[in-house]
Amino acid sequence: MFWHDFDNIIWGDLMQNTQFQFSKLAGKLKSSMIRELLKYANVPGAISFGGGTPDPETFPRHELAQIAKEIIENEYKYTLQYSVTEGDPELIKQILILLKRVYDIDRLSNENVLITVGSQQALELVGKVLIDPGDYVIVGDPEYLGALSAFRMRDTQFLVVKFDDDGPDIDMVKQKIKQLDDSGQIEYLKFIYVVSNFQNPSGITTSLEKRKALVEIAEQYDLLIVEDDPYGVLRFKGEMLPSLMKIGGVERVVLLNTFSKILCPGLRIGMIVADKPIIRKLVLAKQGTDLCSPSLTMRLTARYLERYDVLEQIKPAIDLYRKKKDTMVKALEENFSDIIGAKWTNPEGGLFVWFTLPKSFDTMEMFRFAEENKVFYIPGEAFKPFEEPSSSMRMSFCLPSIEDIHEGVKRLRDAFDKYRSYKGL
Amino acid sequence: MFWHDFDNIIWGDLMQNTQFQFSKLAGKLKSSMIRELLKYANVPGAISFGGGTPDPETFPRHELAQIAKEIIENEYKYTLQYSVTEGDPELIKQILILLKRVYDIDRLSNENVLITVGSQQALELVGKVLIDPGDYVIVGDPEYLGALSAFRMRDTQFLVVKFDDDGPDIDMVKQKIKQLDDSGQIEYLKFIYVVSNFQNPSGITTSLEKRKALVEIAEQYDLLIVEDDPYGVLRFKGEMLPSLMKIGGVERVVLLNTFSKILCPGLRIGMIVADKPIIRKLVLAKQGTDLCSPSLTMRLTARYLERYDVLEQIKPAIDLYRKKKDTMVKALEENFSDIIGAKWTNPEGGLFVWFTLPKSFDTMEMFRFAEENKVFYIPGEAFKPFEEPSSSMRMSFCLPSIEDIHEGVKRLRDAFDKYRSYKGL
């Protein structure tokens, strides 16, 4: 009898019965709150503002199906074989074209790009190559959860700056850096991380003025900036601002991006654009991490980009998201305008509205009232670099229908009222 | 002018001109010797025994092309969307069936399996979850390079045991463990790593007796065994031995595997089979590492396995590899039998022959003579846990033709003669 079923043995028991130990890193790993909370969102009749996944109806499935068949038949020596660690050169070629079109960034070559398995791997590799345990990184409050998880795995110390309506609080950035400099620890500050357009979770875009200020600070202290821009192309109105990389140059800024939002997430194509010596190190780190990305998904993306204009293809999706965002903002106005201190962002693009209740409320505490009403959101606490309560929530408008957005916000108001009377406020 | 071209700026210059620092981990990352050496192998007329990549003509491209088209058209809500971190449940279902067929391992459930991006990611995640910096892991000499790279990223201390003709030297395993135990450091020994069938690079299969001995030792000291078996199914002759997991059970052995060798590498489908609490931690580590594997490649593999018998499909490839291996062994006999002290393995499966010259020779030093003769191999030094010269080389027989194997071994003999007279031996 070799096999035992551990179904009934819980974690703690296993640990008692054996000397066997996990690493300290494993001890710190926790399931993301989003992941845990979204398990509730599958109940019948539920309306979820939780997930940040794009609408699958926006994916160009017929085109991708046709191309996939062709490239497996005809390019099988590439698509079914190991690739080089750097990524498919055909895809990098297309990415260089897009960098020029989207960001007006040129003079880059293949050695400035690494293809990753989604932008989560980009974040993880950046952490490996730049961060030693105990090093500092400047992040926002709130901040993108995936970045926090990736950097936490490197035992990063977060210097947290408030994220205002127009991006990071620049005075706080300066103050945090000055404190480090005064205490002789500036060398341990590795970079400033910022999601520059329609930040996840807040929907906020960093203003041109603040972009310039961040680059100036980075130059003054010889720091890197890691700019993450998965949503920039999903702009509903207004003009795109120059990226931090455009302002600061490739020697100052590392740019992360992904095709998950403008093409589809299932191919897991992310990228890092950076100075060549940094890419070289990242390639080595990826070699030990997963050897190479799947050739098939890289070549599929490359051939798609070659044949179709992804920036045109995404336009109907952007129109749809604009309508849904407008609906959500209108529903919030209709349902929460009477609540003094309640406010919400009105993003010019992206997938998220950031909805903040008056300070005395805690959206994690309110979650069970929302759950009873079958409406789901992500409590702001999930996006705090340090564990602390939050009166905000992230509300994604990309997946629910127009009708469900109306209905969901109504349910949310009802949940809020129940929570408010429970709190006796 | 935002952009500067760093083409002419070398690494060292950049480091002098800036305070900017890579992490200590990045400082240690080196390009793999295989990667560097294989750059030479592309010269016209070269015969390469270097790479370990399967023959693309063995990949079922028509079947995969058809399925890919269908699942993108019809299952786009899954194939083009984010997946769960654990991996495609449809693929896990198929893997459980294969575990039963190949290893006679059953009573496992979905929670015992994690899908990874190739087995390199499996190794990396195992490192993250089990190894703290400074911890010990028992590895072989020679050892699979990908495992060494993954564990090095965790600052592992290697306890190296000789790999005999029938697997790890058991006395050395016992002795190394006893030394740790005597010095009160046994708690820092995390696992024994072993490629159980047709090891890369040596082609050696660990005997049943040694498998049992390893499990006994692991039980005695309450250690884990990490069994890596990418080649087990590629058996030319004889019966498959019970896997370490079959002998030791899922609570004692973590099993790594991949579809790279029996289906194709371009989909990058690896897996970890382990006790549920370990899988749970690995899932959390993967969440921060790349969120999830590509849904498309996972579902493509699942539907392929559902419709076709992969163990039947691989048979022509196994026949081909058997012939090529026989050719290589014969060519070595014909060309090197007169060299006293020269020896080579005659593997019962897998992709590699391990060819050892008399002790006074160094296959790295000999490499330039081989290069002149346009024949390539991987010097044994690449597979040493610590940097030291080796008189062995890894010779892969899977890609070159029968004729090229004959011709290549002849060239190798000529290179050897030139090297021998250069050495004055």
**Is the minimum CB–CB distance between A36 and chain B shorter than 8 Å?**
no
- CA-closest candidate to residue B153, choices B34, B29, B32: B29
pLDDT of res. B34: 73
- CA-closest candidate to residue A378, choices A204, A144, A197, A156: A144
Q: Which residues of B touch A85 (CB under 8 A)?
A: 35
Rounded Cα distance between B250 and B106, Å, is 10
CA distance to partner chain B, nearest, from residue A272 (Å): 14
- Average confidence (pLDDT) over B274-298: 96
**Is the minimum CB–CB distance between A276 and chain B shorter than 8 Å?**
yes
pLDDT of res. B17: 43
- Average confidence (pLDDT) over A289-309: 97
Predicted confidence (pLDDT) at residue A4 exceeds the cutoff of 50:
no
pLDDT of res. B21: 85
**Is the minimum CB–CB distance between B219 and chain A shorter than 8 Å?**
no
Q: Which residues of A touch B247 (CB under 8 A)?
A: 2
pLDDT tens across A161-193, in order? Answer: 999 999 999 999 999 999 999 999 999 999 999
Predicted confidence (pLDDT) at residue A80 exceeds the cutoff of 60:
yes
Q: For residue B343, what are the β-bridge partners? A: B356
pLDDT of res. A11: 34
CA distance to partner chain B, nearest, from residue A264 (Å): 6
pLDDT of res. B12: 34
Indicate the helix (H) or strand (E) that contains A421. helix A402-423
- Average confidence (pLDDT) over A246-268: 97
CB contact under 8 A, A276 and B6: yes
Rounded Cα distance between A213 and A207, Å, is 10
- Average confidence (pLDDT) over A286-312: 97
CB contact under 8 A, A290 and B121: yes
- Average confidence (pLDDT) over B180-204: 97
Q: Indicate the DSSP class of residue B155.
A: T
Predicted confidence (pLDDT) at residue B13 exceeds the cutoff of 60:
no
pLDDT of res. A13: 37
**Is the minimum CB–CB distance between A247 and chain B shorter than 8 Å?**
yes
- Average confidence (pLDDT) over A284-288: 95
Look up the ipTM and state it: 0.93
Q: Taking CA atoms, what residue in B is nearest to A65?
A: B69
pLDDT over 90, % of chain A: 89
pLDDT tens across A26-38, in order? Answer: 998 887 777 777 7
pLDDT of res. B20: 63
Q: Which residues of A touch B292 (CB under 8 A)?
A: 118, 268
pLDDT of res. A189: 97
**Is the minimum CB–CB distance between A120 and chain B shorter than 8 Å?**
yes
Predicted confidence (pLDDT) at residue B181 exceeds the cutoff of 60:
yes
Compare A17 and B276 and report the one with higher pLDDT: B276
pLDDT tens across B133-163, in order? Answer: 999 999 999 999 999 999 999 999 999 999 9
Q: Which B positions 136-175 lie with beta carbon below 8 A of chain A? A: 146, 149-150, 152-154
Residue B422 pLDDT grade (very low, low, confident, very high; cuts 50, 70, 90)? very high
pLDDT of res. B257: 98
Other Cβ atoms within 10 Å of B179 Cβ, number: 12
Residue B23, token pair as written in the block: 């992490």
Contact A271, A114 (CB under 8 A): yes
Compute the CA torsion angle B343, B345, B346, B350 (nearest 10 deg).
-150
- Residues B36-69 as b/e (b if ≥16 CB within 10 A, e otherwise) read ebbebbeeeebbbbbbbbbbbebbbbeebbbbbb
For the ranges A7-21, A36-50, A64-78, the lowest mean pLDDT is seen at A7-21
Residue A256 pLDDT grade (very low, low, confident, very high; cuts 50, 70, 90)? very high
Predicted confidence (pLDDT) at residue B53 exceeds the cutoff of 70:
yes
pLDDT tens across B363-405, in order? Answer: 999 999 999 999 999 999 999 999 899 999 999 999 999 999 9
- Average confidence (pLDDT) over B185-190: 96
Rounded Cα distance between B226 and B272, Å, is 10
Residue B78, token pair as written in the block: 């899954």
pLDDT tens across B289-330, in order? Answer: 999 999 999 999 999 999 999 999 999 999 999 999 999 999
Contact A112, A278 (CB under 8 A): no
- CA-closest candidate to residue A295, choices B264, B399, B55: B264
pLDDT of res. B4: 30
**Is the minimum CB–CB distance between B285 and chain A shorter than 8 Å?**
yes
**Is the minimum CB–CB distance between A285 and chain B shorter than 8 Å?**
yes
CB contact under 8 A, A79 and B154: no
CB contact under 8 A, A72 and B65: yes
Strands (DSSP E) found in B173-268:
189-195, 224-228, 253-258
pTM of the model: 0.94
CB contact under 8 A, B128 and A26: yes
Contact B419, B365 (CB under 8 A): yes
Residue A20 pLDDT grade (very low, low, confident, very high; cuts 50, 70, 90)? low
Predicted confidence (pLDDT) at residue A5 exceeds the cutoff of 90:
no
pLDDT over 70, % of chain B: 95
